[in-house]
């Protein structure tokens, strides 16, 4: 075990030495840029550090003035309070969390799948009116969500999917920015490669899965990040389409923690813990997907 630790320390020391040698080969301007970017990265990490520390602060530290950045006396009481708030209610907090997990998974998969399939059809199978359809998709980016709230409510009610998981998922399936971004990548896939696959007898769906999808992974990974963030933090469907509390999601529950209270102190600890719970999955999916994006773009043949 000690030998393994020594080897790890030697490896880390070697990496540090290589990095220092690489930095020394830079001129003064490049060294200044590296230093500036390093300081900027540390500065951008501060909100993340604050969210983590804020969730573990006891109540007396939450209202200190001047406020403290690093927690002095960490505690799990905020998380216990968050779970205890629904002990005497019909719907526990775990139900809201379960709903969010199911809705986020289905909605993210649906947004990525429909966006990729739509982009493939528009890029490699142009049909009469394809440019008009693409123009309509781009134009839809100009509309604020509030402008389509009433039509969306009418459609969901007409389909009879109120108070169901489909009522959460279907309104989020259409993702215009996903279609636009993935189409730009699919446009760069050589048509000759697709024609060769057709000659070999590959089906259309096989071409899409085996050739197109691996070559546009950077776009799909990026859209996965955006789709996950949109679905995980969405409280609109719970507000508009869900009348039963058992079908509402975690973002809606988090929004009710500190609303309609007699003072501004109550439940602030639970709200801080809830903010961390809402933020942590987005951070994890972002880190995992960004690593995939960087690795794929570095080794992809598409430029």
Tell me the three-class secondary structure of 254-272, residue by residue: HHCCCCCCCCCCCCHHHHH
Confidence at residue 103, expressed as pLDDT on a 0 to 100 scale: 93
Confidence at residue 303, expressed as pLDDT on a 0 to 100 scale: 46
Cα 295 from Cα 291, distance rounded (Å):
6
Q: Do 257 and 78 meet the contact criterion of CB atoms below 8 Å apart?
A: no
Q: Do 172 and 107 meet the contact criterion of CB atoms below 8 Å apart?
A: yes
Confidence at residue 137, expressed as pLDDT on a 0 to 100 scale: 86
Cα 10 from Cα 3, distance rounded (Å):
10
Cα 192 from Cα 199, distance rounded (Å):
10
> Which tokens is 120 given?
């493939």
Q: How far is CA 234 from CA 8, 58, 190, 192, in A?
A: 43, 29, 38, 42
**Domain coordinates in residue numbering, the chain:** 1-40, 84-299
Q: How far is CA 19 from CA 26, 38, 135, 158, in A?
A: 11, 14, 48, 62
The secondary structure of residue 66, as a DSSP letter, is S
Predicted TM-score of the model (pTM) = 0.77
Confidence at residue 302, expressed as pLDDT on a 0 to 100 scale: 45
| Residue-level pLDDT, tens digit, the chain, 303 residues | 444 445 655 565 555 556 565 556 666 787 788 788 888 888 888 888 888 888 888 877 777 777 777 888 888 888 888 777 766 677 787 888 899 999 999 999 999 999 999 999 998 888 888 889 888 888 888 887 778 888 888 998 999 889 999 999 998 888 888 898 888 888 888 888 888 888 888 888 888 888 888 888 888 888 888 899 889 988 888 888 988 888 999 888 887 776 655 455 567 777 888 888 888 888 888 888 777 666 555 544 444
DSSP assignments along 15-56, one per residue = HHHHHHHHHHTS-HHHHHHHHHHHHHHHHHHHHHHHHHHHHT
H helices of 91-175, in order, are 93-124, 130-139, 149-159, 165-173
Q: Which of 1.20.1440.230, 3.40.1010.10, 3.40.630.30, 1.10.3720.10 would CATH assign to domain 84-299?
A: 1.10.3720.10
Cα 49 from Cα 69, distance rounded (Å):
8
For 83, residues 6+ apart whose C-beta sits below 8 A from its C-beta are 92, 93, 94
Confidence at residue 8, expressed as pLDDT on a 0 to 100 scale: 56
Write 191-197 long-range contacts (CB < 8 A, 24+). 191/124, 194/124
């Amino acid at each position: 075990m000690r030998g393994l630790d020594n080897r790890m320390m030697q490896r880390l020391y070697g990496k540090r030495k290589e990095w220092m040698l690489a930095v020394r080969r830079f001129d003064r301007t490049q060294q200044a840029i590296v230093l500036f970017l390093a300081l900027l990265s540390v500065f951008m990490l501060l909100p993340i550090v604050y969210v983590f520390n804020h969730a573990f602060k006891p109540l007396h530290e939450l209202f200190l003035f001047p406020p403290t950045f690093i927690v002095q006396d960490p505690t799990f009481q905020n998380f216990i309070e968050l779970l205890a708030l629904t002990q005497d209610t019909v719907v526990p907090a775990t139900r809201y969390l379960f709903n969010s997990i199911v809705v986020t998974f289905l909605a993210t998969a649906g947004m990525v799948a429909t966006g990729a399939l739509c982009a493939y059809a528009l890029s490699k199978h142009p049909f009469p009116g394809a440019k008009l359809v693409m123009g309509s998709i781009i134009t839809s980016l100009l509309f604020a969500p509030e402008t389509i709230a009433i039509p969306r409510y009418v459609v969901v009610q007409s389909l009879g999917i109120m108070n169901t998981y489909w009522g959460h998922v279907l309104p989020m399936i259409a993702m215009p920015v996903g279609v636009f971004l993935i189409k730009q990548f699919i446009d760069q896939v050589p048509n000759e490669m697709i024609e060769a696959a057709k000659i070999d007898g590959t089906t259309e769906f096989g071409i899409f899965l085996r050739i197109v999808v691996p070559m546009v992974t950077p776009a799909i990974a990026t859209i996965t990040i955006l789709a996950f963030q949109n679905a995980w933090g969405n409280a609109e469907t719970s507000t508009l389409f869900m009348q039963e509390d058992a079908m509402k999601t975690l973002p809606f529950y988090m929004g009710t923690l500190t609303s309609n209270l007699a003072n501004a102190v109550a439940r602030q600890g639970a709200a801080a813990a809830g903010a961390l719970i809402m933020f942590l999955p987005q951070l994890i999916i972002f880190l995992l997907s960004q690593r995939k994006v960087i690795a794929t773009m570095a080794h992809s043949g598409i430029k």
